Structure 1
């Protein structure tokens, strides 16, 4: 399978779900939903990490002077 972005994968899962048997469709939607939420949480955590890293670097520069 080619590299697919998370948002594209989630959209494809929701698009494919109606063509599946009911139990499989629900499972597909549940997995897509969890993937979407996990990706958002990961992105937010990475943004916080970047911001805190910059702040620490700035504070270390102040201390060294």
Structure 2
């Protein structure tokens, strides 16, 4: 019986990578994280952001803009 593989995970992005993905400044991403509008993961002293969190943030803000 084969061992099941865990679901593939996308790598976490650094703050500058997340800023480039969202097309905003690094300081904007840091502000969003600080204000808890964008979820983050701490790896030691480093801050990382998942693709899923960026997608969630974009969808939430697209809906707000359309309202």
TM-score by length of 2: 0.32
Where is the helix percentage greater, Structure 1 or Structure 2? 1
By relative contact order (CA 8 Å, sep 6+), the higher-ranking structure is: 2
Where is the strand percentage greater, Structure 1 or Structure 2? 2
Larger radius of gyration between Structure 1 and Structure 2:
1
TM-score by length of 1: 0.33
